[in-house]
Chains A and B, each alone.
Chain A
Amino acid sequence: VDLTASPQEQAFRDELRDWLQANHPGPEPEGDVAGFQFRRDWQLTLHEAGLAGVSWPEAYGGRGATLVEQAIYNEELARARAPSAANILGLAMGGPTVIAHGTEEQKRRYLEPILSAREIWCQGFSEPEAGSDLASLKTRAVRDGDEWVVTGQKVWTTLAHHAKWCMLVARTDPDAPRHKGLTYFLMDMEQDAVQVRPLRQITGEAEFNELFIEEARIPHANIVGGEGNGWAVAITTLMHERATLAFGLQIRVKITLGELLAEARESGASADPIIRDRLAQLYIESEVLRLGALRGLSAIMRTGVPGPEGSLGKWQWAEVNQALTELAVELRGPRAVLNDDRWTYRFLRARANSIEGGTTEILRNIVAERVLGLPRMR
């Protein structure tokens, strides 16, 4: 056990701090269009400094950073309150999936525009009737010469209204067992056969969309990982989502908790013994989350792949973030009935944490079956 940074890790951290101090673009402008353009510009700035996709191989525009360095990267960006990159799904999921399963040609074609945010990515997995039971999805792809013709509906598609590419899982063999008949495509969103409709959520914003796909066409060359292999490729994407995004998320929790602790000190709320106990427990849980993420990194560095244990972190993160925002709203007392510019939004947004990226119930199933070896329900 050694939690000190190596000289190389410390140098990387120092370099990032200096760079962020010199290049931080300031606060994000209001509004979806202006905000998105701002994040897009920010990502290009990162990319030009070689700081987008730091863990990707150098040959594809990354800098071959170790996972620990990637964690440091996420930590420093969060600490500097840097804006998020525009192409988060391309960076965290699409790129790593292409790197793991794509052909050389695909790597040359898709990776650089992900890094520069020239092409935004979205993820077409969930459907109205295939949520947690993802393998039951019904979107159909039928071969037509060198192309596939796709018809179906997708939902909860973050960034679809900005996206050029969609990581689409569709059924290519309706007769195969349900996990086997799926294929992972990269679908061009810029065609009339794909209609995007925003979904307004309880916060009032529309981060998500519905996709209506009516005979969209995808070249055969846009299959990733081979026909019929879509389930395995999709799992790679999801494991990367839980392993990589989770690391950034736990840091954000710590920053948000820091704000709550400061407010509770200032208002005197932390003098109440019950509130004090709850704040201390939240702090402990946020630390346990951080430490679990660090242990996970060490394990991935040894084994090379994110394991099912990553599910624990995502599950626990949702619980901590929900409990923390609930307490923050509670501490506003009777004023909690008024919308507050920070906590009300965070409290409402946190309700999705235990659903998005794998519901807590599905994560518990994964832990029970794949880590503890309990018998499968299905």
Chain B
Amino acid sequence: MRFELTDDQQAIRRTAREFLASRYPPEEIRRLAFDDERGFTDEQWTAIAELGWPALVVGEDDGGLGLGVVELAVLQEELGYALAPTPLLSTVAAALVIAARGDDAQRAEWLPGIAEGGLRATVAPDGDGLSSDADALAGTLQAVPDAGAADLLVVAVDADRDVVVDLRGDGVTVEPADALDPTRRLSTVRLARARAQPLRGAGSRSRASDTVAVAIAAESVGVAQRTMEMAVAHARDRRQFGQPIGVFQAVSHACAQMLLEVEGARSAVLYAAWALDAAPDEAPLAAAMAKAYASDAGRRVPAAALQVLGGIGFTWEHDLHLWLKRGHANAATWGDARSHRRRVADLLAL
């Protein structure tokens, strides 16, 4: 039993931390968020592909690195910590669904391209409101992440049917949506008799789905960690009544509460990631717990940090709101805390 990162996993963390800190300083995050039409640059995407991140959890047989969900969680936490705007998570999510649900030919068609960075893909939050006949889809999909920069879209048409839509194909319109979180582009995707290719493999969706939930939860751990650090730094530096405000227990205890939630969320995420890799029976419950707990931490810690920062934390100029918005967006994505607690209750046969 060893519940901490291995040397290799720590090396992934260090590489990610250094790379992201050097490439995504706050001014670059703001430039991408507010001034760049697509929200990332080709050069940035190429650099990320060269690090092997889109290939991380793609199997070696499919042209990827075949690493585990723990490695993915480590990387995602760093991406949340850095708040790097990138379509990576959407692409990884699509790759996971294609790997689980596609047949050999479909995996060979898409996964090597995704792994080397040549193809980008995304997954629609849900397939509500779609109508399908034969292999054509019609309807409108809301809040699809990174669809503007993706080649492929994976949609769950119903509980056991996933399809892949070529976003460059006929009958597809992608329009930018006004997103709460400016660092992750969302689109409205309109389909009018768009061609859809059903995924024909026999695998189950649930492991892929749980993995994405854990990846988002890991990102929220990074978001919470970063905003906690902002609050702690402010509590040390800011002086009122002749002393640093961190000496006041109303402030220091709020910071301690942040640590409790950050560490709790990190434990839950690491456990779920490990279970997805090594203990499949425990994975559904572990993933639901991780997404529930980290969703709450990802909303509450930035909010508490804003309170510690006081008025400055409420300004556009301070960076905190960027992380706060990501935390809230993540909490609402891929099942909110309440829906995952419902799953926990179901799995406990309550």
Enumerate chain A interface residues (CB-CB to B < 8 A).
1-6, 9, 68, 261, 264-265, 270, 276-277, 279-281, 283-285, 287-288, 291-292, 294-295, 297-299, 302, 309, 312, 315-316, 361, 364-365, 367-369, 371-377
Contact = CB atoms under 8 A, between A and B. Distances in A.
B249 A2 contact: no
Given A4-B278, A284-B341, A364-B253, 18 more contacts: A3-B1, A3-B3, A9-B1, A68-B1, A277-B342, A277-B345, A279-B348, A280-B344, A284-B292, A302-B4, A315-B260, A361-B249, A365-B253, A368-B252, A368-B255, A374-B232, A374-B236, A375-B246
Contacts of B292: 280-281, 284
A287 B267 CA distance: 9
Contact of A375 (B4, B236, B271, B344): B236
B3 A288 contact: no
B348 to A, nearest CB: 6
B240 interface: no
A377 B342 CA distance: 42
A288 B345 contact: no
B92 to A, nearest CB: 19
B256 A376 contact: no
Contacts of B70: 1
B264 to A, nearest CB: 4
A374 B246 contact: yes
B157 interface: no
A296 to B, nearest CB: 9
B278 A2 contact: yes
B323 interface: no
B293 A361 contact: no
Contacts of B273: 1
B241 to A, nearest CB: 13
A1 B5 contact: yes
A277 B247 contact: no
Interface in B243-270: 243-244, 246-247, 249, 252-253, 255-257, 259-260, 263-264, 267-268, 270
Contacts of A368: 246, 252-253, 255-256
Given A1-B274, A361-B249, A364-B252, A373 B293 contact: no
Q: Which of B9, B247, B260, B271 has the largest count of A CB atoms less than 10 A from its CB?
A: B260
A288 B341 contact: no
B270 A1 contact: yes
B264 A292 contact: yes
B259 A280 contact: no
B349 interface: yes
5 contacts: A2-B2, A2-B3, A3-B278, A276-B345, A277-B345
A273 B263 CA distance: 28
A265 B270 CA distance: 30
A361 B260 CA distance: 13
Interface of B: 1-6, 9, 70, 232, 235-236, 243-244, 246-247, 249, 252-253, 255-257, 259-260, 263-264, 267-268, 270-271, 273-274, 278-279, 289, 292-293, 338, 341-342, 344-345, 348-350
Nearest to A72: B1
Nearest to A270: B350
Given A298-B1, A374-B255, A375-B236, A288 B264 contact: yes
A364 B249 contact: yes
Contacts of B6: 1
Contacts of B338: 277
A23 B230 CA distance: 55
A369 B257 CA distance: 13
Contacts of B279: 3-4
Given A1-B270, A298-B1, A367 B259 contact: yes
Interface centre among A3, A294, A309 (most CB of B within 10 A): A3
A331 B52 CA distance: 52
Contacts of A280: 292, 341-342, 344-345, 348, 350
B276 to A, nearest CB: 11
B345 A316 contact: no
Contacts of A284: 268, 289, 292-293, 341, 344
For the complex of A and B, the 6 pairs showing the least CB-CB separation, nearest first, are A368-B252, A291-B267, A280-B341, A374-B246, A270-B350, A367-B256
A265 B235 contact: no
B264 A295 contact: no
B344 to A, nearest CB: 4
A316 B259 CA distance: 12
B274 A312 contact: no
Query: Taking each of B247, B289, B345, B349, which has the highest tally of chain A beta carbons within 10 Å of its own beta carbon?
Result: B345
B350 A288 contact: no
A378 to B, nearest CB: 9
A84 B252 CA distance: 37
A299 B278 contact: no
A1 B270 CA distance: 8
B256 A364 contact: yes
B88 to A, nearest CB: 22
B305 to A, nearest CB: 12
A338 to B, nearest CB: 26
A6 B244 CA distance: 48
Contacts of A265: 349-350
A294 B274 CA distance: 14
A295 B267 contact: yes
Nearest to A276: B345
A295 B278 CA distance: 18
A261 B349 CA distance: 9
A318 B292 CA distance: 21
B152 to A, nearest CB: 32
Contacts of B293: 284, 288
Contacts of A364: 249, 252-253, 256-257
B247 A376 contact: yes
Contact of A292 (B232, B263, B341): B263
Given A280-B341, A315-B260, A3 B274 contact: yes
A276 B232 contact: no
Contacts of A376: 247
Contacts of B232: 372-374
Given A372-B255, A373-B232, A374-B236, A279 B2 contact: no
B350 A295 contact: no
